[in-house]
Structure 1
Amino acid sequence: MEAAMTQTPFEIFLQAPPGLEPLLAEEAREQGFAAPNPVPGGVVTQGGWDEVWRANLCLRGAGRVLVRIGGFMAFHLAQLDKRARKFPWGELLRPGEAVRVDVTCRRSKIYHAGAAKQRIETALAAFGAVIADDAEETETDEAPLTLKVRIEDNEVIFSLDSSGVPLHRRGTKQFVGKAPMRETLAALFLRACDYSGQEPVYDPMCGSGTFVLEAAAIASGAAPGLSRQFAFERLASFDAARWQALRDAHAGSTPPEQRFVGSDRDAGAVAGANANAQRAGLGDVAAFHHAAVSDAAPPDGPPGLVIVNPPYGGRIGNKKLLYGLHGALGDTLRRNFRGWRVGIVTSEAGLARATGLPVTPWGPPVPHGGLKVTLFTAPPIG
């Protein structure tokens, strides 16, 4: 029996980097989502379309928002074909919309993902959808809608990627430095450092400014998704007036009193970070300047959080030389940043310890750019 898509609440899956699911669950709970439950790879909650929209608009740590839209049992390809054709696609999709289909099979009599994908694509085409080529560009606002199909224990489960372009793409950042950190990961690491938007943040190796700008945006109170579009805006369920009302309700921004500062020895990175701040509307509270690590100094005002993603040799820099760099970082922080807490992201525990600070790992290693990195934290510098 085909499950109707109009039934709510849906199961909503919020993607998170493995190891950081509890942080995203905490954020979702603070934002009022229903009983967010951390599971491997993300957080499960419940809600209708308004909650799907709000999750995309407001959650800083979620990488994507997937919606379980229905499903049925199928024990062979002919049954899959028949039931997929009967599925009420018109309740979700608009005819003529491009759709990409991703299929995985586990512990099921239907074991050939390619054959299952073909049957579902045929059903979608019969409805009037345009089947997108798997090689088609996915990092633009015009990327096809993605239908994710999981066939497990003979149950066919349909989920829709309601985000489209990954949610770390806030829509304001154009300059990207070397080995960039995604904004969603930066937001979760800031949360792990107990940052709540009420204190200044400094990054002495700022690159394109991700940590500083994310911290400033959190302090401003504006939703992270205000400057971009989402895949759900092209669905049959989309209501433009309700969406605009939701955006208006989360557009209020209070200029923070504290300052957010970054520095870097790369003048090009500093220029790019300042341009990113202007595009994000944060140029009045976030500033970047050219300085070596040994010249880093805090802004005027109370102490706050130093958070840094320094080179760690996996992709950038000679690892042996980096021990000296981290030693210089620790010396500078002890000299100039008394009272400040510290967060250091690295793939090498030895590099974090080379700072001479009393660092401890916050949690498990987290995937980042083909590596595994760990957040190390240190209490206020005495």
Structure 2
Amino acid sequence: MADTLPLFLAAQPGLEAALAEEARAAGFLDPRPVPGGVEITGTLQDMRRANLVLAGAGRVLVRIAEFRAFHLAQLDKRARKIDWAAWIAPGTPVRVEATCRKSKIYHDRAAAQRIAKAVTDAGAVLARGEADAEADEALRLIARIDDDLVTISLDSSGAPLHRRGLKTFVGKAPLRETMAALFLRQMGHDGREPLVDPMCGSGTLLLEAASMASGLAPGRARAFAFERFANHDPAAWAALRTPVVPPDGPPRFFGFDRDQGAITGATRNAEQAGVTALCQFACQPISALEPPVPGPGLIMVNPPYGARIGNKKLLYGLYGALGETLRTRFAGWRLGLVTSEPALAKATALPITPGPHVAHGGLTVQLWQSDPLP
């Protein structure tokens, strides 16, 4: 096995550059944004560390083989030359996925079957049926055949990395934790300035900011697929997982929502995440919003878009009220607003500009940013 291997950090389309910046800041060498994610080269320990510490990565894939194949028999022969035992212990359940694009091998299912046969003949067990989204114990093996080049990767993450294992309450149409973390990064937030979310829901933005401020690894509370790899080194993994030390206050991350149920749930989520000392929540409408501490600071908000929640026509008044409150009470603060509707963002009448389009649950959203408000 090579000392270093190609690794792929999956990202929401539109956030590849932000994830590359995070990976660079975390010390990963030469992160290269590509469509759908970021490519890096690293060791197995880098693979483990990427899963643990990168807040914006959706998955970490490790490339274990690459070769050309122009027909199924050739794919079968070359797949059998891979040292499967180095990665997959006998009896381990495996789920094989394949996609074919601009290749002489064009049948996804047939390609997956040939690779699955090579893997099971080496001792693995083929998983049956659809994957159980979070509890599935099967390792996920991904084959991509693009222009006759076969790339085979193992998913080292398992459940998607936005599932931190830190929340039991989930609000309506929340941001993924990975998206929240990268939007905070795009706003230049490093955890030191005060942060206000006027419509906090389950508290995702605040929990991500508080974890960042405390140096708490986003993957601190969950397990990963690589822990079931044949080459897993428990001692090396234990060396990465430093003890979690709960942060001290005073609070500097403030969440508000007019729904008391959301506030109760967000408070519970902060307790489970171990960041209660840094967060403070209160039930109140936009009209009651005031700076909870002297500014300047950052306002981050993910209001309803009217696409899945709320009547879009009625939301213009909500966005307008938000803009009026921030304009009259939050001079010097910066705003980051996430929405799928440019017309709603403009209804704030605030000097905000849109960032790249980002795919989000069947929608396309943008982060609208301001300089310090006048």
Q: TM-score, normalised by structure 2?
A: 0.97
CA contact (8 A) 2:356 2:366 kept: yes
- Secondary structure at the aligned position of 1:34 is classed as coil
> Which moves more between the two structures, 68-77 or 15-24?
68-77
Select 1:339's aligned residue among 332, 340, 358: 332
What is the CA–CA distance in structure 2 between the aligned matches of 1:255 and 1:158, rounded to whole Å?
A: 45
> Is 1:11 aligned to residue 2 of structure 2?
no
> Is 1:98 aligned to residue 93 of structure 2?
yes
What is the CA–CA distance in structure 1 between the aligned matches of 2:61 and 2:108, rounded to whole Å?
A: 20
Deviations 1:150-204 (A, max 9, x none): 1223222111111001011111111000011100000011111111111011100
> Is 1:172 aligned to residue 166 of structure 2?
yes
2:236 is matched with which residue? 242
* Map 1:190-339 → 2, pairs under 5 A: 190-248=184-242, 251=244, 254-255=247-248, 257=250, 259-339=252-332
2:364 is matched with which residue? 372
For residue 51 of structure 1, report the CA deviation from its aligned partner: 0.3
| Identity among equivalent pairs (%) | 58
What is the CA–CA distance in structure 2 between the aligned matches of 1:10 and 1:333, rounded to whole Å?
A: 48
- Secondary structure at the aligned position of 2:142 is classed as strand
For residue 332 of structure 1, report the CA deviation from its aligned partner: 1.2
Equivalent position amino acid for 1:365 in 2: H
What is the CA–CA distance in structure 2 between the aligned matches of 1:237 and 1:252, rounded to whole Å?
A: 30
Aligned residue pairs: how many? Answer: 374
For residue 254 of structure 1, report the CA deviation from its aligned partner: 4.9
1:3 is matched with which residue? none
Select 1:65's aligned residue among 13, 35, 60: 60
What is the CA–CA distance in structure 2 between the aligned matches of 1:377 and 1:143, rounded to whole Å?
A: 41
What is the CA–CA distance in structure 2 between the aligned matches of 1:324 and 1:153, rounded to whole Å?
A: 51
1:188 is matched with which residue? 182
Deviations 1:232-286 (A, max 9, x none): 00001111111011112x8466546551110101111110000000000011111
Select 2:132's aligned residue among 129, 137, 150: 137
CA contact (8 A) 1:313 1:319 kept: yes
- Secondary structure at the aligned position of 1:156 is classed as strand
For residue 297 of structure 1, report the CA deviation from its aligned partner: 1.9
- Secondary structure at the aligned position of 2:256 is classed as strand
* Map 1:68-147 → 2, pairs under 5 A: 68-140=63-135, 142-147=136-141
What is the CA–CA distance in structure 1 between the aligned matches of 2:126 and 2:327, rounded to whole Å?
A: 58
Select 2:153's aligned residue among 153, 159, 163: 159
What is the CA–CA distance in structure 2 between the aligned matches of 1:253 and 1:40, rounded to whole Å?
A: 37
What is the CA–CA distance in structure 2 between the aligned matches of 1:90 and 1:253, rounded to whole Å?
A: 40
* Root-mean-square deviation (Å): 1.4
CA contact (8 A) 1:70 1:159 kept: yes
What is the CA–CA distance in structure 2 between the aligned matches of 1:75 and 1:369, rounded to whole Å?
A: 36
> Is 1:23 aligned to residue 18 of structure 2?
yes
What is the CA–CA distance in structure 2 between the aligned matches of 1:256 and 1:194, rounded to whole Å?
A: 22
What is the CA–CA distance in structure 2 between the aligned matches of 1:258 and 1:338, rounded to whole Å?
A: 21
What is the CA–CA distance in structure 2 between the aligned matches of 1:49 and 1:288, rounded to whole Å?
A: 40
CA contact (8 A) 1:221 1:253 kept: no
What is the CA–CA distance in structure 1 between the aligned matches of 2:247 and 2:271, rounded to whole Å?
A: 16
> Which moves more between the two structures, 143-152 or 45-54?
143-152
CA contact (8 A) 2:246 2:274 kept: no
Segments of 5+ residues of structure 1 without an aligned counterpart are 1-5
Relative to structure 1, the CA distance from residue 35 to residue 253 in structure 2 (aligned partners, 3 Å threshold; closer, same or farther) is farther
CA contact (8 A) 2:358 2:366 kept: yes
> Is 1:41 aligned to residue 36 of structure 2?
yes
Segments of 5+ residues of structure 2 without an aligned counterpart are none
Structure 1 residue runs of 4+, over 3 Å off? 250-258
2:373 is matched with which residue? 381
What is the CA–CA distance in structure 2 between the aligned matches of 1:171 and 1:35, rounded to whole Å?
A: 30
Deviations 1:318-339 (A, max 9, x none): 1111010111111111222222
What is the CA–CA distance in structure 1 between the aligned matches of 2:361 and 2:329, rounded to whole Å?
A: 32
What is the CA–CA distance in structure 2 between the aligned matches of 1:16 and 1:136, rounded to whole Å?
A: 21
1:32 is matched with which residue? 27
For residue 116 of structure 1, report the CA deviation from its aligned partner: 1.2
CA contact (8 A) 2:250 2:277 kept: no
What is the CA–CA distance in structure 1 between the aligned matches of 2:267 and 2:250, rounded to whole Å?
A: 19
Equivalent position amino acid for 1:181 in 2: L
What is the CA–CA distance in structure 1 between the aligned matches of 2:356 and 2:373, rounded to whole Å?
A: 24
For residue 124 of structure 1, report the CA deviation from its aligned partner: 1.3
Relative to structure 1, the CA distance from residue 17 to residue 256 in structure 2 (aligned partners, 3 Å threshold; closer, same or farther) is farther
Equivalent position amino acid for 2:187 in 1: C
